[in-house]
Amino acid sequence: MSDDGNVIKVHASGPYEISGTASIDGAALECPAWLCRCGKSANKPYCDGAHKSSDFTDDGEHAGDAAAPDANASAELELTVRADGPILIRGQAEIRSASDQTIAHASRGALCRCGQSADKPYCDGAHKACGFTG
């Protein structure tokens, strides 16, 4: 686990950087790990750098509610990739913006991975309208 616990950092026009103790779809995740949020990676859910040559832009900032962490949440961050949908998060995690500001302390939620959400980094269901596959 990193000194900061479980952290999901949102990179400007780039991936999610996951650090700490995490699993993805039940398998241990070697951290740090970079997960795609532009929807263009050929190696979904992992980032392959496709955002660099795509039209994906996002400043990686979000006005969030940085409430206190949920003391009852699991210390391990569990990530579940929904087919053609978001990344579900369960367990303690601090979500940080590109400028390293705390957006939220989350114990559950859904992160956009299609690149089309109007509420990035969170999923707003845009994957359904844009026909995202992954």
The answer to whether residue 19 scores a pLDDT higher than 90 is: yes
Q: What's the domain count of the chain?
A: 1
Residue 115 lies in a domain: yes
The whole domain housing 72 covers 7-130
Per-residue pLDDT for 102 more than 70? yes
**pTM higher than 0.75:** yes
pLDDT at 48 over 50: yes
Distances (CA, A) of 111 to 26, 52, 53, 95, 114: 17, 20, 22, 10, 9
Mean pLDDT of the chain: 92
- Residue 1, domain member (yes or no): no
| Domain-embedded: residue 90 | yes
Is 69 inside any structural domain? Answer: yes
In a domain? residue 109: yes
- What mean pLDDT comes out for the span 40-45? 96
Query: Residue 7 pLDDT > 50, yes or no?
Result: yes
**Range with top average pLDDT, 37-46, 72-81, 102-111:** 37-46
> What single-letter amino acid sits at 38?
C
pLDDT of residue 1: 36
Residue 2 within a domain: no
| Alpha helices for the chain (secondary structure H) | 126-130
Q: Is residue 25 part of a domain?
A: yes
109 DSSP β-pair partners: 89
The answer to whether residue 61 sits within a structural domain is yes
φ, ψ (nearest 5 deg) of residue 87: -100, 120
